[in-house]
Structure 1
């Protein structure tokens, strides 16, 4: 896990990991040049499984994720961000699936989208089978990055492209999907925080995605990808720009997310409340 200026959220994230039913894990937490109290808050958790590395430099997410893989000791690598919340059964469910399906290299899960107040925005789109996940590579892969758990050798073999500053996950999947096997659990096992949309961040992400499409299209001689992918990214950016400039960014978030069932909303509320209580106790200690 990489973090940068995550003092407002890192306690919730760490509490969600400490609450995992699967307990045989290590956390490689790499600070990417935070200028707030993120590192101090993380060091307040006296758990030997949490290893914190802070070199006061900002190297970017892709570089930090590669560094985390190099430092890790386990056969499986799980991803999440420093503002996400893992459901208590997340690691257990993914480990069990990968143990039972040795042919799968990378496994995602369903994810609920929530705002800073803990309110449900929707759910991230996802599909479960490799063929469906990789059906339209020029358009993207329905495999939410913060939910990934994969085999260490797969991450070592392919690695994150450190030039891909805003589209690390897409570039990695685009480069590896023809020689890998992906899957996604249909159940929601992660809370993905997304409160506001920044036009600058969206623009940077679209540019990085277009570059990734162009590089891989040329390398794999799939020139139709380039045309479809670039056109699709331009159209999406136009929609984003209109929505944000007219103040409809929150509505855009809801439009892109899937509807969430009453049962899934109730399960999320329970997870959120449990985490909040744990954070309050940690702060009072």
Structure 2
């Protein structure tokens, strides 16, 4: 058959289905329960109406012929490619549109005929599954029935919805905290380990207790637009060598002179950085509270 010249664009959707039969228990396994086997047969797809293509190329009307596909040994619906190569995903690509689905089983009662609508959103990753698309036929006087798969899907959807709701709630709380200046949960412990060069605190959005070990001279980068009252406490220890410096270019301190960390080997210093709405101020705790070596007049 010759390929068309200037063909219109025909969208497709992927359809997947599996049909099995339950047989009396065999000696193939240890239990005495019924066994499942792939059923032999075919599935027939009949388009209910032509498809008019006008979006690209030469406009055309697609008059579809019925598509009859076999089931493999495991009961999967297969096209010529997936039947020839078991490594391919079993199923079939159909042109978008509505179809009547008929099953033909030589040794079993066919599934009642039903309709499906194939769209371009049906992919190999998210196919139209015939088992899920088939309607449930209720016995007389039955008012409600729930398939196991429906219950599982509903439970999974509820779990995902709960996770999304919790994430949204946490995000909203963080936004409220940043916008309104309300600290939730006190201080956040932030273990930085060994630090040399730059201590980047520019993304800090909560009150922090930062623990670090100075293994070289360190310069601190602070948040540029924190809320007034934000506090960052630095608990810094010298390494076994000692003598490391810590500089905070954007901070002010008493008398205009920045403090110096305790210089001895393994010495510990604790500084409190407080944002007053205009500037970051450095306050020194305990024995490291210093007397300035020069005055700023």
Same fold (TM over 0.5): no
Higher helix share: 1
Instruction: Name the structure, 1 or 2, with higher relative contact order (CA <8 Å, separation 6+).
Output: 1
Higher strand share: 2
Q: TM-score range by the shorter chain?
A: under 0.3
Q: What's the TM-score once normalised by structure 2's chain length?
A: 0.18
Q: Select the structure of larger CA radius of gyration.
A: 2
